[in-house]
Chains A and B, each alone.
Chain A
Amino acid sequence: MIRLLSALLGAALLAAPALAQDDYPSRPITMIIPFPPGGVADQTARAIITPLEKELKQPVAIRNTQGAGGAVGMGAAANAKPDGYTILLALSSVSIIPEADKLFGRKPAYTIDQLKPIALLGADPTVLVVRAESPWKTVKELEEAAKKEPGKIAYSSSGIYGTLHMAMAMFTNAAGINMKHVPFNGGGPAVTALLGGHVQALASGPGPVLAHIKAGKLRPLANWGTKRLAVLPDVPTFAELGYKNVEFYIWAGLFAPKDVPAPVMEKLRAAVKKAAAAPEFGSAMEKLGSPVAYLDAPEFEKFWAADAARLAEAVKRVGKVE
């Protein structure tokens, strides 16, 4: 009797994980957003969960775990139980934070190899904008002005070692110029500072500045992508202008902890693929000014590796600010 019971129990224990994988997902899934509600990451997440829930046939709940520029939430996701019930929606900054931690000799909240990509959902190249009243019509003119008076022209950013700072650092490094960095607390205040004339230049995602460009308040000079933007067809890319390795995107991607079993990962990938193609997601992202740029896991992994390498280099070149 006891033997029978223990055999049954053993079989049940063995079967449990297998069963769990077969009918994954059998309970609600948590999507960690490492930023407060309202930002790009949060909006993307809220737009994708509705079609994603239809695919997975389970609720997907958003948990905004904020703090330390996203490090807290990303760390929580990287160290979560790898069962596929916790996934992460992160932005480009996911590759910057461990580098900045390294720079300051801090214990990192996570390392990037703890995360496994599921899919890329959106990627907007940043755009270099100046005020419409400013004398600079091209990147060349801005570069020459900066060379004439090093450290005079100021640019705003969303925060030190933030995405917008790193984009600008790539440009100033490649051009060999010195511009003054004035960090702000978030992307919104950085745009406001440029509009108010408190700084002279800014690298920004197209969404937040497009309306101001159209209203004639700001002038776009170049974009950080490999091709021109559909919404700004007259604006050249840095690559076109002959700058090497000045490539940067504000992207949003989905990740899972690295040890998620392969079958679960397959299901997640398939579900996200269908959800990303859903018209409701596409139209929401279009209107937010950042059209869907879907990449499946293998391509996303390559894209991410190249991006992370460029960012690590940029962080090292900027170094500590004393």
Chain B
Amino acid sequence: MLDVLQNLGDGFAVALSPGVLLYAFIGCLVGTLVGVLPGIGPLAGISLLLPATFGLDATRAVVMLAGIYYGAMYGGSTTSILMRIPGEAASVMTCIDGYAMARKGRAGPALTIAAIGSYIAGTASVVALMLLAPPLAGFALRFGPPEQFALLVLGLLVLAYMSVGSMLKSLAMATLGLLLGTIGIDHMSGYQRYGYGLHELGDGIGVVPLAVGLFGLGEILATAGRAKPPEVIHPRFRDLLPDRREMREAAAPVARGTILGFLVGIIPGSAHIIATFVSYAVEKKLSKKPEEFGKGAIAGVAGPESANNAATSGAFVPMLALGIPSGPVTAVLIAAMMVHGVQPGPLMMTQQPTLFWGFIASMYVGNLMLLILNLPLVGLFVQVLRIPYGYLFPAIVMFCILGVYAASGSIVDVWIMLIMGVLGYVLRKLDFETAPIVLGLILSPLIELAMRQSLSMSNGSYTIFLEKPIAATLLAAALVLLILGLLPLVRGVADWRARLAAADGDAESK
């Protein structure tokens, strides 16, 4: 423990030296900018700036690139809250309550809580990363296809709890998402499913066009023509910060989101977005006022945003301890380190202690820097809401098109976004939730691949899921959840029918 502190002290000496500090700041600034702009996520941001770091020494380069990574994660929530355009997949959940808060004039608190939550999650995760990286990394490696499958099944069950309205409708939407997720070339056999001669569909429907269409454009279609357009909001200065009640309601969700996000983040190959969905569902389940979710509950912003940032730091565990990427972004970071002659992995801590501890220390510094950078920006960003809706909505339509095109460079994706926008509008009119579609689309290829890989490993025997201890434990947890979820349903069937009939009668007599 003492030598950890000693090393960390040396690390801070590196991280706080003016040269390194400057590059950390540039990284955070660029990351925030890149995260705020729709369509350019952390991956594109790091790749764009990679050549610019070739001339720097390793510590500065890595510190700057890591700054871009978590800077982009901070920035991703901004467009979600202000315009309901998810800047990247990880901020889909923030769209729901973040945007609802913005429409109630609480955009400032939503943005502030997102930044504070991200800061706490980021810092706490670095502590965990520093102390627990080697044992956690060994645990992460044990996640093979059967364990992945069990984890994803657990994630899928959470969908059922996400429903704001009817559970039946949520399940139907999740199934629709899962079905849409099967489009594309099958990973196990090479067959193209539902291609219709479009090579662009080879990788299936992307999350960005789907989410931007369903949330961003769908919202515009539903509100732009209202006889009474959404009001222009003039945020006052004291409305920029969360009040005492909001702070209290956000505290526990931040803590839970941090732990959840970190755990999901360390597992290689799992989709980090699951952490945000699960966090949202958990907060809704634990909330005393679940009916507020979807209408601007601050816990619905605080939890997922913290989970998102904790997962970002969690992803560093397998990268630093083992040198294996847990996703495309860490893969780029590993490459960036290798270009500078640093090989991430078990030897890094002993061979290049200055760099390792400098990197860890710069993560503390970077998170603090981002908080300081983001809080004043809140005041700037909320000014967007002062723009009259007649001018704002054309700009949002433009950002939907631009963001989707910038993300993949494919015009087919922009068409998909338009179709999803229409679908999002219709579903909204018919009173369906769209978030389960997004999660279904993301989970579908992962869950199918993991299941078929497992079956291939075991020559078609399903006992593989029970023989592996981690998989069996996760599946048992899923079973418990399922039973708990079904119990009230079974018990309440009579009561439920009665209510339906009553509701039916009400609707008919209007």
Contact = CB atoms under 8 A, between A and B. Distances in A.
Q: Do chains A and B touch in the complex (CB under 8 A)?
A: yes
Interface of A: 36-39, 42-43, 46-47, 49-50, 63-69, 71-72, 75, 100, 103-104, 106-107, 109, 151, 154, 159-161, 180-185, 188-189, 191-193, 195-199, 207, 211-212, 214-215, 280, 284, 287-289, 320-322
B8 to A, nearest CB: 24
Contacts of A199: 457
B268 A189 contact: yes
Contacts of A212: 323, 345
Nearest to B343: A211
Contact of B190 (A39, A46, A75, A320): A320
Nearest to B328: A38
| Interface size, B (range) | 35 or more
B145 interface: yes
Contacts of A71: 199, 202
B155 interface: no
A214 B348 CA distance: 13
B456 A68 contact: no
Contacts of A188: 268, 324-325, 331
Given A185-B449, A198-B145, A215-B346, A67 B331 contact: no
Given A185-B187, A321-B190, 17 more contacts: A37-B328, A38-B43, A47-B54, A64-B44, A65-B408, A67-B202, A67-B408, A68-B200, A68-B202, A71-B199, A109-B199, A154-B456, A184-B453, A189-B268, A191-B324, A287-B338, A288-B339
B187 A189 contact: no
B188 A321 contact: yes
Contacts of A103: 190
A215 B347 contact: yes
A169 B200 CA distance: 27
A65 B268 CA distance: 25
Contacts, number: 155
Given A67-B199, A68-B203, A109-B199, A160 B339 contact: no
B488 interface: no
Contacts of A75: 199
Interface string B180-215: 000011011111100101011111000000000000
B188 A183 contact: yes
A67 B198 CA distance: 11
B143 interface: yes
B332 interface: yes
A182 B457 contact: yes
Contacts of B347: 211, 214-215
User: Which of A64, A72, A214 has the most B CB atoms < 10 Å from its CB?
Assistant: A72
Interface in B264-281: 268-269
